[in-house]
Structure 1
Amino acid sequence: MNTSAHKSNIVPLIVATAFFMENLDGTVITTALPQMAQTLGVNAVDMSVGITAYLITLAVFIPISGWLSDRLGSQTVFGSAVGIFTFASVLCALSQTVNQFMLARILQGIGGAMMVPVGRLIVLRTTSKSELVKTIALITWPGLVAPVIGPPLGGFLTTYFSWHWIFILNVPLGLLGIGLIRKFVSNDHQIEKRPLDYIGFLIIGSALAFTIIGVESIGSEGFSKSAVGYSALGIACGVTSWFHAKKHPHPLLDFSVLKVPTFGITFFSGSFTRVLIGATPFLAPLMFQIAFGYSAFMSGLLFLAAMLGNIGLKPLTPMLLKRFGFRNIMLGNGFIAAMAAMICGMLSPDTSIIGIVLAMFIYGVSRSMQFTCIQTLAFVDIPPEKMSGANTLFSTIGQLAQGVGVALGAAIVHITVMLRDGDINSPSAMDFRITFFTVGALILISLWGYLKLKPDAGAAASKHQPKKLT
């Protein structure tokens, strides 16, 4: 194997590992919060600041990642991001107070915000369109698998070792990653040095921070005045950033890439689909525990079947896309995803373990395929000079979609319980059934946007040749 081919194979693996580290740390501490709170001398509820601080920092600093990469070089920024993330992991493990832990998580969030978008940009710049499907499938799986195995892994480490190991495990991975980045990743950057859009960074950062706080509040409090207020502020700042970007010569977020049909459709319809499909990892374990009476550990094990679905379909993805094309796959698989949500709604405390596992597996398969298609098709027709801006915009909306998906699922449950005057702390199996059916119906509605795709959309990546009518 020549050096170029070897490099093209190793770089996606480096990026995938970094993605796994970043995505895992967003959920792995959820089951460790009680022990962490005891060690740091606070209530378990107070420890949620570690999760919130991390997610907000991620959202705020992702938009600046593209500018830094263009300015300093992708190797410099990616390597530094992994270094910051690793160092912050050590600080998290050494924290003696909740404030120290919060500051360490903020620093970790800054590193994570640079890792994901810059890592994807490196892959997009070094991968030919003919290999894009296979490569995107490789770097997509960490984002699908890590949130699933995070809680049970955190619970295992906390129970049999201590919560400190959750962060210590990042150190050898991070050090290995830094060495591999220096050896295999080129320090590509734009020749033209764009000035930083400071005002845009402030407006966009505010929009993302307020929106994340708002949707998190909706998920925990319902539609309280503060939750609605923060969400409204986030939307207002988002609209302001749109108008600011149209007037600024070098905007931090380049909305002009939305004119590319494949990117625009995946940005709007794809983000809507990602929000809806992303609600299930929150809803399913909650339903298993509250409505079915399973333990937290058992609920986590049941949802691991979704991970098997995520991984199992990856080898078949290029072949299926070549046979059917992006448009047909995204419509057909989107329908399966909607049915998977409704199947989850049909589960009950009397459903066998095999039945639940099968439902989770079907969900995982459909989620994996749809996410891979969205993240590949978005960049197929983007010209090289616009790739950095498109990647930054896509990464920003992707981070926002994660939080909104959880909030949407929680909001539907809240509304369902309120309509029957029930106890919001004890939703019934019927409440979850209505919620899953609603999510499934909304997924079907989101498929309307994919109808606008041409039959040969993304053919350069899928190699699909639609049959011509005679």
Structure 2
Amino acid sequence: MAATPTSERSLKLTLWLVAIGFFMQTLDTTVVNTALPAMAASLGESPLRMQSVVIAYTLTMAVLIPASGWMADRFGTRIVFFSAIVLFTAGSALCASAQSLNQLVAWRVLQGAGGAMLLPVGRLAILRTFPRERLLPAMSFVAIPGLVGPLVGPTVGGWLSEWASWHWVFLINIPVGIVGGIATWLHLADSREDHPHRFDLGGYLMLAFGMAAISLALDGLSGSGMRHAPAFVLLIFGIVAVVAYWLHAHRKPDPIFPPDLFAIHTFTVGMLGSLFARIGAGAMPFLLPLLLQVSLGYSPSHAGMMMLPVAAAGMLSKRIATPLITRLGYRSVLVWNTLLVGSLMAVFALIGPTQPIGVHLLLLAVFGAVNSLQFTAMNTLCIKDLQPHNASSGNSLFSMIQMLSMSLAVTTAGAVLSAFTRATDHGNPGDTLAAFHATFLCVGLITAASAWIFWQLSPDVTPTKRKEVEIDVA
């Protein structure tokens, strides 16, 4: 492995560069949600049909994450991280210039292509440049922006949409991207593999097509423009591609994701449980800002500030994750907490415009706390039993599933909301609120149902090390 010499100054700059890149990526995952109604009004679209703006970003990241590690091995961490910042910044500028929904979606794909490489390549740069004894504090430092980004994202998005314009949601990335790109090119420690493994291009294309086809087909079935017959055909092709990859991986000596990963029971249960639980819980950052603005009449900045209790309570609840999981075990925590998260999501079906704002804030804070505990437990369960020889592929697969589940969550929420909107739309102001209520019940049920997956864990599965659940990015 080739690497440039790293001084103490270079190590600190590497940390800050990766942290800033991670912050940009996580911020843009949430900052857009609060700005969707303003975007819809500007582009002449319904705010309830804007899910494609979110799906384009998260799905692109899910598709490209599996290739990011190989690209860093082949071309070096510096050039790949620099290219990621350039793509992300260019995509941000083009998003701000979009004149139609289709243009905005196209440029979100470009932005997602850059975002897909920021986190995994940044982590790889730290792993290859920092001494082992300094890895833990380094990774802890980089994890902080991943928590701060979602915390300030909805508020920043709402404030900019109301007091400037939604275009600034993307324009704020440009100066940060320019400074970060220059600093990366001049200071980021470079490393690459001397003899990188051969990339499984065939397997990657099957997997990427399968993920994209399934997600786009589900979005098409929601009534977003694609007719139902082509959407069903695309869905079938997507399933076929995923099955073909699974068969391909069993006969390929070096697939992207080795099938023996699923021989690890905690990894398999954690992955499947996380996928389905996130399809429900991951819909909430998309649904809540829309509910507050479209049905409850909140301004964008007010709606963004209402999301602060969710993130703040989530950060505070991480303090109890370690002792709780250590004492009760993963199965008890995940089964009961999954049921609690699903029940709280269903409680949002009772929310209304005449209730005191304190009731709304309390419900949002409690949901944020239990949802954060859910993510911490699921994330650490997946990686706890990975070994050095499969840690890289396992972590990459888990990162891909995280982004894919976010895409599927918004796709599912958009489809359900669209269906209930059509069913309840009789021209009355309260019709959209009834559609939101029914949607919260459905996504809550989806989340609660995933508790059956976590029930398959052995009762004695607990953290093997205390540090397992102290570095977590939801």
In the alignment, is residue 239 of structure 1 matched against residue 243 of structure 2?
Answer: yes
**Residue 67 of structure 1: which of 67, 70, 84 is its match?**
70
1:265 matched to 2:263: no
C-alpha displacement at 1:153, in angstroms? Answer: 2.5
2-side partners of 1:48 and 1:301: how far apart? 21
Please say if residues 133 and 376 of structure 1, whose CA atoms lie closer than 8 Å, have aligned partners that are also in contact: no
Aligned twin of 2:464: 459
Q: Is the 8 A contact 1:130 1:463 kept in 2?
A: no
Aligned-residue offset at 1:279: 1.7
The one-letter amino acid of 1:455's match is D
Q: Report the Cα distance in structure 2 between the residues aligned to 1:379 and 1:129, rounded to whole angstroms.
A: 20
Residue matched to 1:285: 289
Gaps of 5+ in 1: 465-470
Residue 1 of structure 2 is aligned to residue 24 of structure 1: no
> What pairs up with 1:81-96 in 2 under 5 angstroms?
81-90=84-93, 92=95
Partner of 1:350: 354
**What is the letter of the counterpart of residue 77 of structure 1?**
V
Pairing 1:306–2:313 present = no
Cα 1:411–1:424 shift into 2, 3 Å: farther
TM-score, length of structure 1 as denominator length: 0.79
Between the aligned partners of 1:178 and 1:116, the Cα distance in structure 2 is: 15
CA distances 1:323-359 after superposition (whole Å, capped 9, x unpaired): 4444443334323312321322232333211111111
| Contact map agreement 2:341 2:367 (CA 8 A) in 1 | yes
Match for residue 468 of structure 1? none
Distance 2:326 2:307 in 1: 30
Q: Which of these residues, 146, 167, 181, is aligned with residue 170 of structure 2?
A: 167
Letter in 1 for 2:87: I
Q: Aligned ranges for residues 245-260 of structure 1 at < 5 Å?
A: 245-260=249-264
Task: Output one character per residue of 1:234-272: Cα deviation in whole Å (capped at 9) or x when no partner.
Answer: 222222222222222222333332222222111111111
The normalised TM-score by structure 2 is 0.78
CA distance in 1, matches of 2:243, 2:296: 42
After TM superposition, the structure 1 stretch with the greater mean CA deviation from structure 2, 83-92 or 260-269, is 83-92
Report the Cα distance in structure 1 between the residues aligned to 2:127 and 2:366, rounded to whole angstroms.
Answer: 29
C-alpha change, 1:302 and 1:92, in structure 2 (3 Å) is closer
> Quick one: distance in 2 between partners of 1:55 and 1:215?
15
Question: What per-residue deviation string (whole Å, max 9, x for no partner) do you get for residues 97-145 of structure 1?
Answer: 9998766544332211111333355567779899979957973873x66
1:394-433 superposed matches below 5 A: 394-414=398-418, 427=431, 429-433=433-437
Secondary structure of residue in 1 paired with 2:156: helix
Amino acid corresponding to residue 196 of structure 2 in structure 1: K
- Partner Cα separation in structure 2 for residue 393 and residue 369 of structure 1: 22
Match of 1:467 in 2: none
2:341 aligned with 1:331, yes or no? no
Structure 2: 5+ residue stretches without partners: 1-5, 470-474
For residues 84 and 290 of structure 2, what CA distance do their matches in structure 1 show?
A: 34
The DSSP-based 3-state class of the residue aligned with 2:89 is helix
Contact residue 67 and residue 252 of structure 1 kept, 8 A: no
1:154 counterpart letter in structure 2: G
| Aligned residues of 2:51 and 2:411 also touching (Cα < 8 A) | no
| Map of 1:197 onto structure 2 | 200
Change beyond 3 A, Cα 1:136–1:220 = farther
Residue 31 of structure 1 deviates from its aligned partner by: 6.2
What is the one-letter code of the residue matched to 1:62? I
Aligned Cα RMSD in Å?
4.3
2:354 alignment partner, SS class: coil
**Residues of 2 paired with 1:333 and 1:11: CA distance?**
37
Secondary structure, aligned partner of 2:256: coil
Give, in whole Å, the separation in 1 of the partners of 2:317 and 2:112: 31
**What's the secondary structure of 2:307's corresponding residue?**
helix
Match of 2:340, SS state, is: helix
Rounded Cα–Cα distance in structure 2 between residues aligned with 1:311 and 1:268: 25
**Contact 2:20 2:145 (8 Å CA) reproduced:** no
Identity over aligned residues, as a percent?
31
User: 137, 152, 157: which one pairs with 1:154?
Assistant: 157
Segment of structure 1 superposing worse, 337-346 or 95-104: 95-104
CA contact (8 A) 1:141 1:310 kept: no
**Structure 1 residues 254 and 181: CA distance shift in structure 2, 3 A:** farther
350, 362, 369: which is aligned to 2:366? Answer: 362
Change beyond 3 A, Cα 1:407–1:92: closer
Range with bigger deviation, 231-240 or 355-364: 231-240
CA distance in 1, matches of 2:15, 2:336: 28
Q: Post-superposition shift, 1:294?
A: 3.9
- Take 1:364 and 1:213, find their aligned partners in 2: how far apart are those partners? 29
Whether 2:116 is the aligned partner of 1:113: answer yes
The Cα of 1:36 is off from its aligned counterpart by 7.4
Q: Is the contact between residue 218 and residue 224 of structure 1 (CA under 8 Å) also seen in structure 2?
A: yes
